[in-house]
Homo-oligomer: A and B are copies of this chain.
Amino acid sequence: MAGSTYGNIFKITTWGESHGKALGVVIDGCPAGISLSIEDIQSFLNRRKPGQSKYTTQRNEADQVDILSGIFEGKTTGTPISLVVYNKDQHSADYSEISQCYRPGHADYTFDKKYGFRDYRGGGRSSGRETIGRVAAGAIASKILKELGISVLSYSKEIAGIAIDNEKFNANEILNNPMYMPDADAAKQAESVAQQKMAEMDSVGGIIECKVFGMPVGIGEPVFEKLDANLSKAVMSIGSVKGVEIGDGFAVAKSSGSTDNDGFEINNGEIIKTSNHAGGILGGMSDGSEIILRAAIKPTPSIAQTQKTVNKSGENIDINIKGRHDPMIVPRAVVVVESMVAITLVDALFTNMSSQMDKIIDFYK
């Protein structure tokens, strides 16, 4: 069942349930010599922290991270970095009644069938809180990318059917609005639609977009470990993601080769692509253009409306889910997508280092 470890060389192992004592992550394979502070990690965690606005749950989850190993005198030592966030405000009582039934859109039923029983407090391991470990590790991966001149930008592209206007795209706006949208007008509209849905005790979905700048050419492996294949797994492994696409994505289905192919040209002595339908990846390897990825996020399954379901005694019942739940997953998932992408890129960069004998000889000179 070992499915809580991700990555080959840069490897993370997450653990923890929403209402257990703590959640955390062990990052193994982090190179030595990187300056790393609690603030580096906390700033990432704060982007997924609830209670930031009226559109996110009002639970007061402090989510303060502690570093237990792997850092010495402010630098990574090359040994595993263990990070922990203690659960504080758990309100277990809110959840006790769901222990006997299966919430629609949740993993209650599949968990029970797989393991024979489940930790029913707040979703247990399949809670959104599981992503705390991913984001903490993502903060470290992002530091590594920064050292290599690579950056990842993520944001909400569409919420409740309201998409950003590319003409108004402003990266600085992303952290200014509770929707994490790079377009203030779209963000306001999306807020308004979301408020209406909340009033109807309903929830909304959306699309997250992620762009990578500065990736060297040739990263990723040409067959099963294609860069786009691993990015897809990374992003699809986030709860509530139902689709992933690279570059033009599903639009290629209606495209033609003459349009979809990106030409090459020499520009100031450098090879560049004249367009980027491929989204920065050719044959599973980065092509020097920006990498573009989108993820479809489903609406929050926990809604206050009465829903039809069954209980463990085999009876059809009505369920009213209590507790405090976000009417949308998208904004808080933005940093989770960014983290999974960063982790995947770091692993690909490290894996790539032994591709050419000449470079290996240089390395060991």
- Given known A115-B356, A223-B3, contact A125–B77 (CB-CB < 8 A): yes
Interfacial residues of chain A within 88-124, with CB under 8 A of chain B in the complex: 102, 104-107, 109-111, 113-119, 121, 124
The interface on chain A, measured as residues whose beta carbon lies within 8 A of the other chain's beta carbons, has a size of: 164
- CB–CB B117/A77 < 8 A: yes
Q: Is the CB of A257 within 8 A of B203?
A: yes
**C-alpha gap A357/B29 in the complex (Å):** 11
Query: How many whole Å from A201's CB to the nearest CB in chain B?
Result: 8
Q: Which of B121, B233, B298 contacts A252 (CB 8 A)?
A: B298
Query: Could you tell me the dominant secondary structure of chain A's interface residues?
Result: mixed
Q: State A41–B118 Cα separation when bound (angstroms).
A: 22
Stretch from A43-51, A53-61, A165-173, A204-212 contacting the other chain? A204-212
Task: Return chain B residues, CB-CB under 8 Å to A17.
Answer: 69-70, 72, 77, 79
State the Cβ distance, A272 to closest chain B Cβ, in Å.
9
A232 on interface, CB distance cutoff 8 Å? yes
Complex CA gap A74/B4 in Å reads 21
Say yes or no: is A253 at the interface (Cβ < 8 Å to chain B): yes
A3 touches B15 (CB 8 A): no
Q: Which residues from chain B contact A217 at a C-beta distance below 8 Å?
A: 109-110, 113-114
| Contact A109 to B315, CB < 8 A, known contacts A68-B16, A116-B32, A216-B364 | no
Copies of this chain present in the complex amount to 4
Q: In the complex, what distance in Å separates the CA atom of A67 from the CA atom of B221?
A: 22
Q: Name the residue of chain B whose CB is nearest to the CB of A148.
A: B364
A236→B232 contact, CB < 8 A: yes
| Contact A285 B236, beta carbon cutoff 8 Å | no
Contact in complex: B110, A202 (CB < 8 Å): no
- A38 within 8 A of partner (CB): no
A20 touches B357 (CB 8 A): no
Among residues 229 to 262 in chain A, which have CB atoms less than 8 Å away from a CB atom of chain B? 229-234, 236-237, 239, 242-258, 260-262
CB-nearest residue of chain B relative to A239?
B283
Kindly list 7 other residue pairs between chains A and B, CB separation below 8 angstroms, not including A34-B357, A161-B253, A200-B258. A6-B224, A32-B355, A78-B115, A110-B287, A229-B233, A242-B245, A257-B305
Sampled A-B contacts (23; CB under 8 Å): A1-B351, A3-B222, A32-B355, A77-B119, A105-B260, A105-B262, A105-B278, A114-B217, A114-B222, A114-B352, A126-B284, A158-B253, A204-B257, A207-B253, A242-B250, A244-B244, A245-B296, A260-B299, A263-B307, A266-B314, A266-B316, A353-B353, A359-B363
